[in-house]
Structure 1
Amino acid sequence: MTHQQNYGHDRLAHYTFHNEVLFLKCWTNLNLKWVEPEKLSQLYFNRFPQEQNMIHLNRCADDRHRKMLSVNVTCDNIKLPNLIIVGPQKTGTSALLSFLKLHPNVTSNLNVEGSFEEMQFFGGTNYKKGFEWYQSQFLQAADNHQIIVEKTANYFDNPVTPHLLSSMLNPDSKNHELKIIAMIADPVDRAYSWYQHMRSHNDSIATKYSPEKLFSMLPGDPEYEVTNRLRQRCLKPGFYAEHVDRWLDYFPPSQIILIDAKAFRLNPTQIMDQLLIDLNLPTSNFNYATNLRYVPEKGFYCTIKKGKTKCLGASKGRKYIPISDSLRSQLNSYYAGHNRALLKLLNRYKFNVPGWLLNF
């Protein structure tokens, strides 16, 4: 009825609405009832519970939305990331971010209280703060910053993140400049590293149970439930095919960059130089050979700033007891099906296959 001529002017809108109700009452079996808006919303969400969670959109991405904004709100100089490092955890994402930020045309978000470099926005605790809060974390980005990057390492395996991220940053798939980076490590090494990470933080389960005990428990074991949260955080991020396939539901392969985490750790210069090309960043006056240095005491590469070597904190590259052969064999068997699925997916979409996966 809103398409009728002169709707909203004079008395036609009221007339049309009134007669629509009379028509339904007289000529259909529909029983119309009136309830307060708040109660109506409760009835709606009881019927469609999947729609209870709010999805934030980019208010400036659509001309129709911009016209609805208050005169006090402007879309001028809105800065949003066009590169998201999604994880997973314990694959080298912090090093990747620090290396990227060496380039003069790259910047990232402000540090967030409680989570430092990570925004924890899409599917995280900060999502309820909305679009305004998110975009305010990038206000320092200058015009020469060709790449604005955000890194949150648990985006990768969060089942709601791809949808939420796409809705705000990739509306209608028009933002083809947006890139998603995931680091693909051997899932056995990643799972063991996460266990040791939690143990170093005095997690009660990790300090009580050995990795052999933790990963061998089965449903029905007396201690299975109490240990399951840690076990799942160790194991599930390594279901790479499942997670990458979910990201592909919202982003085409051309917008997703998968990096071999082991190759990155051993030869970051080569990986980063290629990444600059993939991101169309200028390389004529910048190269990583003169900006990265291997530090034997740390066991990994660090950045060089103004002639001084700067490494990540003590929590990065932590040394711990090597994984036993028996546990590696056990976890290799556990991940075998997932790895074969990943290899099939990578070949289907013509992604590069990481070296550790070639034997599958």
Structure 2
Amino acid sequence: MCLPGLCVWLLLLTALSVCPPLFRGLMPRTLDSQITMEKTPSYFVTREAPRRISSMSRDTKLIVVVRNPVTRAISDYTQTLSKKPDIPSFEALAFRNRSLGQVDTSWNAIRIGMYMLHLENWLQYFPLSQIHFVSGERLITDPAGELGRVQDFLGLKRIVTDKHFYFNKTKGFPCLKKPESSSLPRCLGKSKGRTHVQIDQEVIEQLRDFYRPYNIKFYEMVGHDFRWD
């Protein structure tokens, strides 16, 4: 993972299935002038991940992409529905008792968005100064700005700028322009950019109320208001 250069873990909201020394052996060697990055969709919410990553390298820098937890839950459900069309409705999965406003926090799509709980676990092993949070919303509206801040966090010169992106109207988000070594622009695959399932507005409001205290605490912990309300 970081032999001997800087290690970066992109915690996109899988645990390490192998012990750190073996996992390190799967990574390419990194020179002092290089950065090796690893990303897996659920490191951030896997309880054992911080301890295992810390035991491998306490100097690791961590990048976490977060988005409005209500939108994230609906996106999660939309993705699952595309693979399992017979699953219960979003509302049935999200609530233990909707009339009483009892949200089912055992459903993974809901629990992932309780960011402050997961961050508390990471802060037991890494200082906040080694964790950078990327706004999923701004990554769409201002990709160069968000990646500029990532480059600053990593101590890199700002090379990726506005000129590297174009907005793909079909996908609904920015894509990379054609690199010199390729004949085609680069964009995320067919599984990305799906139209979200339509959810009753009252359900959305109930979930916003549920997440609000968790969001506020998360803002306080990271020192940034993501304005998800």
Q: Which amino acid aligns with 2:73?
A: A
Cα separation, partners in 2 of 1:201 and 1:344, compared to 1, 3 Å: same
Residue aligning to 2:62: 180
Contact 2:74-2:196 at 8 Å conserved across structures:
no
Give the % identical residues: 25
Quote the residue 2:140 is aligned against.
265
Q: 1:233 to 1:144 in 2, by over 3 A?
A: same
Report 1:230-269 matches (<5 A).
232-269=107-144
Aligned partner of 1:7 in structure 2 is none
Tell me, what secondary structure is at the counterpart of 1:196? helix
The 1:142–1:290 alpha-carbon spacing in structure 2 relative to 1, beyond 3 Å, is farther
Q: What amino acid maps onto 1:87 in structure 2?
A: L
Larger RCO of the pair (alpha carbons < 8 Å, separation 6+): 2
Q: Are residues 278 and 80 of structure 1, via their aligned partners in 2, closer, same or farther at CA, if it must alter by over 3 Å?
A: closer
> Could you tell me which residue of structure 2 aligns to residue 127 of structure 1?
18
**C-alpha distance 136-322 of structure 1, shift in aligned 2 (>3 A):** same
- RMSD over aligned CA atoms reads 2.6
Partners of 2:10 and 2:70 in 1: CA distance: 21
Pairwise CA distance, 1:343: 2.7
Q: CA deviation at 1:87?
A: 1.8
What TM-score results when the alignment is normalised by the length of structure 1? 0.56
Q: Residue 38 of structure 2 aligns to a residue in which SS?
A: strand
Distance of 2:47 and 2:115 partners within structure 1: 13
1:196 lines up with 2:78 in the alignment: yes
* Separation of aligned partners in 1, 2:96 and 2:227: 30
Tell me the SS of whatever aligns to 1:309.
coil
Shift of the 165–150 alpha-carbon distance from structure 1 to 2, 3 Å rule, reads same
Q: Equivalents in 2 of 1:156, 1:296: separation in Å?
A: 30
Q: Which residue of 2 aligns with 1:71?
A: none
Q: Distance in 2 between matches of 1:310 and 1:156?
A: 26
Corresponding position: 1:84 with 2:14: no
Corresponding residue for residue 173 of structure 2 = 300
Task: Measure, in 1, the Cα distance between the counterparts of 2:184 and 2:155.
Answer: 28
Long gaps (5+) in structure 2: 98-103
Question: Distance in 2 between the 1:321 and 1:215 partners?
Answer: 14
Distance 1:253 1:197 in 2: 31
Cα distance change on mapping 1:142 and 1:166 into 2, 3 Å: closer
SS at match of 1:345: helix
Q: Is the 8 A contact 1:260 1:355 kept in 2?
A: no
Deviation, 1:144, is: 7.2
Equivalenced residues, count: 221
Question: Structure 1 residues 79 and 322 mapped into 2: Cα distance closer, same or farther (>3 Å)?
Answer: farther
Cross-structure match for 2:226:
354
Corresponding position of 1:3: none
TM-score (norm 2): 0.85
* Runs of at least 5 residues in structure 1 that lack an aligned partner in the other structure: 1-57, 59-76, 89-119, 219-227
> Relative to total residues, which structure has the larger strand share, 1 or 2?
2
Q: Cα deviation per residue 1:120-146 (whole Å; 9 max; x = unaligned)?
A: 4xx34x315x513x223322x553752
| Corresponding residue number in structure 2 for 1:323 | 199
Out of 309, 312, 324, the residue aligned to residue 185 of structure 2 is 309
Q: After TM superposition, what 4+ stretches of structure 1 lie above 6 angstroms from structure 2? A: none
Q: Give distance in 2, aligned partners of 1:251 and 1:145.
A: 23
1:155 has 2:31 as partner: no
CA contact (8 A) 2:74 2:197 kept: no
